[in-house]
Structures are given as structure tokens and as C-alpha cells.
A and B are shown apart, each in its own frame.
Chain A
Amino acid sequence: MESVKKKLYATSSVTVLCILLGLMIGVQYNTVRLQKQSTDSASLQRVSELTTKLSTLQAENDALQEKLETQSQQMKEFESALMADDSSFEALTEENERLKMVAGMTAVQGRGISVTINDSSASADGSANPEAFLVHAEDILSIINELNVAGAEAIAINGQRLISQSAVRCAGSVVNVNDVKLAAPFVITAIGDPDLLEAALLFPGGVVDTLRPWGIEILIKKLDMLEIPSYSQPREFREATSSNKG
């Protein structure tokens, strides 16, 4: 009798535990399956989310650019209307035009040179520091510096007009100019006396001499006519105010 009771205890308790175990296994199975699903779909969701965001931002950017163009067009129309109204505005408009040129807010054209620099194709050796075979922001800056010394009147890098507030900055594998990411090859266009500008880059021990040994490709072209676009972003002065009280 005792033995039968004992067996009943054993069987019933083991059975209860077995049911509990089965429940745990089942729910855990559900949990793990759900976790896997959610991690898989989460990464996918993230990618599509970012892609959507990117295209939205691009569309926004395009729309804003368009708006900027139409508004500057409008401004021009107003100016010409004013000019037609009153000839005394002519002088002001001329002054305005000149100041815009100084500030880089208008596209300019004239004689000049274009300098194309590209990363070295010798970088594949892997023997030396691969960094040395790339075009860096510093290289671009030193070229710009030489061009300015030689009297360049307007400079642009890959169509990004350099103005007094422009920054040329290394940003990982690309170079930021006016907060726009640019990648090699870089085309630096400058308006000025072509011979002077070229000489400024080619003098012995100059910029080109220091870059050539690394295999960085530099191509200088003298042009009779080239156009440099205007600075495309809005300029804001938050801190500075004119101190010219006159």
C-alpha cells in the first residue's frame, strides 16, 4: 500500500513538473521566435527608414534650391524694375553688382586656369603609408593659397565657390567645402592671369613639386574663358553688425 502511494506521489509530482516544464519550453520558444523576428525586421526597418529619410531630405534640398533660384530671379527683376523707374538707382545697382562680385554672390567669368588633382594610382602598393597618396584638404588649401597669392579673383572647387567664410576641411574620405561633401578628383578653377596662376603652382619647391612625388595626379589647364558660379548658400550674420556709422 505504502509503495503504491509513493508511486502515485512520484508520478503525479513528476507529471505536474513536466507540464510546467512543457509550458516554459513552449513560451520560451515563442519568446525566442519573437525576438528573432523583431531583430530581423528592426534592422530592415531601420534601413528603409533611413532610405526614405534620405530621399525626403534630397527632395527638400532640391525644392529649397529651386526656391532660392526663383527668389534671386525675382530680386533681379525688382532691381531692373527699379532701375527703369529711376536712373539714380543705376549707380546703386552698379555698386550692388560690384559688392556682390566681391562677396562671391554672383557668378563671374574670365580668363583663368583649372587645376585637376586626383588621388595617386600608386596607392595600391600598400608598402608606404596610403594616406600620403590621397589628396587632402591641406593640399587643396595650399593650392588655393598659392592661387590667391598670384592674384586669383574668384576660386571654386568642384563648382563650390570659395568666399571669405568658406571652409575646406577633411571629413573622412571626402573633403567638405562650404559644408558640401566633395570627393576626388578635385577641379579647382580660378579666374586671374593664367600665366601668373600657373607659375604660382609650378615654381620649384612649390605645391606641385611637393605633391608629384607621391604620384598625385595634377593637371593644369590655362583657359581663355571660364565661368565660376556664385556662392549658393544663404549667408547670415548673427553676431556681426556693421560698425560703419557713416
Chain B
Amino acid sequence: MVLPIPLLGLLAGIFLGVSSAYVFPSGYSAYVAVAILACTDSVLGGIKSSLHGQFHLGIFLSGFLGNGLLAMVLVYFGDKLNIQLSLAAIVVFGSRFFQNFAEIRRFILNQREKKDKIHSEEQTENGC
């Protein structure tokens, strides 16, 4: 796993997105927001699992699409029922950011020191 390549991709995407004249139609903002969360979660999960050598394309893609769809469905029904169900997606994805980031961080740091505690403890955990 070479970290700089996805990072470069991310930066290129942001640059392209901002410099483009496109905007999302009004009303879809909330959906895009949770889609961004789901996508970020998948990216972090994918990086983590590939660092652990457990990357599966099927799991990665189904996690991305499934989580994204579920989050959007939550937003849709939350909108209809006047419950902010998107909060559930935000909280879950948000906490997973930190968890995944912590594992990536430890992995990279421990790679140098060669004592990867989290790796052995949470081997069964999957990326998505």
C-alpha cells in the first residue's frame, strides 16, 4: 500500500471539484454530506485493511455502496419523519474515522518499531 497515491488522488479530486462550476441541486446537500462521510469511512477502512494485508475488493466496494445507500436512506426517512437520522450516520462514521485513523497511525508507527499490538489484537476486524 502506497499511501501518497490515494492522497494525491484526493487532492486532485478536491481541486477538480472546487474549480469546476458544478453544484449539487439544492435539497440534495444532506445526501451528499452523508455520502461524503460514507466515502471517507470506506477510504480509511480500505487503507487500514490493506495495511493489515486483509483487503478484499468485494468487501471494500460493498461496504462503500451499502453504507452510502443506508446513510442516504436514513437521511431520507429522517427528513420524512422529522427525525435527524443523519445524526446516526454522522456519529457512527465519525467514531469509525477515529478508530480507523488510530489503527493506521499505530500501524505506521509500529512498522518502524516492529511491535504491532493493535494488529494482533484486532486481526479479525474488517475494513468495512
Q: Which A residues are within 8 Å of any B CB, using their own CB? A: 3, 6-7, 9-11, 13-32, 34-35
Contacts and interface: CB of A to CB of B under 8 A. Distances in A.
Interface in B1-43: 1-2, 5-24, 26, 29, 32-33, 35-36, 39-40, 42-43
Interface magnitude class on chain B: 35 or more
Contacts of A22: 9-17
B47 interface: yes
B50 A26 contact: no
B39 to A, nearest CB: 4
B101 interface: no
B18 A26 contact: yes
A23 B16 contact: yes
Interface class of chain B by DSSP: helix
Nearest to B49: A10
22 contacts: A6-B53, A6-B55, A10-B46, A11-B2, A11-B5, A14-B47, A15-B6, A17-B43, A18-B9, A19-B9, A19-B13, A20-B13, A21-B36, A22-B12, A22-B17, A23-B14, A27-B23, A28-B24, A28-B36, A30-B17, A30-B20, A35-B29
A21 B43 contact: yes
A181 B22 CA distance: 50
A11 B47 CA distance: 8
Contacts of B91: none
A31 B24 contact: yes
B93 interface: no
Contact of A26 (B6, B20, B40, B60): B20
B50 to A, nearest CB: 4
Given A10-B1, A17-B64, A29 B46 contact: no
Contacts, number: 123
B50 A21 contact: no
Contacts of A11: 1-2, 5-6, 50
Nearest to B18: A26
B1 to A, nearest CB: 6
A64 B107 CA distance: 83
B50 A18 contact: no
A60 B46 CA distance: 69
Contacts of B15: 22, 26
Contact of B36 (A10, A14, A19, A25): A25
Nearest to A24: B36
Given A10-B57, A13-B46, A26-B19, 14 more contacts: A7-B50, A9-B55, A9-B57, A11-B6, A14-B46, A15-B8, A17-B39, A18-B10, A21-B13, A21-B36, A21-B40, A22-B14, A26-B13, A30-B17
Given A14-B43, A15-B6, A17-B42, A23 B29 contact: no
A10 B55 contact: yes
Contact of B33 (A9, A14, A17, A28): A28
Contacts of B33: 28
A11 B51 CA distance: 10
A209 B63 CA distance: 82
Per CB-CB distance, the 10 closest pairs between chain A and chain B, nearest first, are: A26-B17, A22-B13, A10-B50, A18-B9, A10-B55, A22-B14, A18-B10, A26-B18, A18-B6, A19-B13
Contacts of B36: 21, 24-25, 28
A10 B2 CA distance: 9
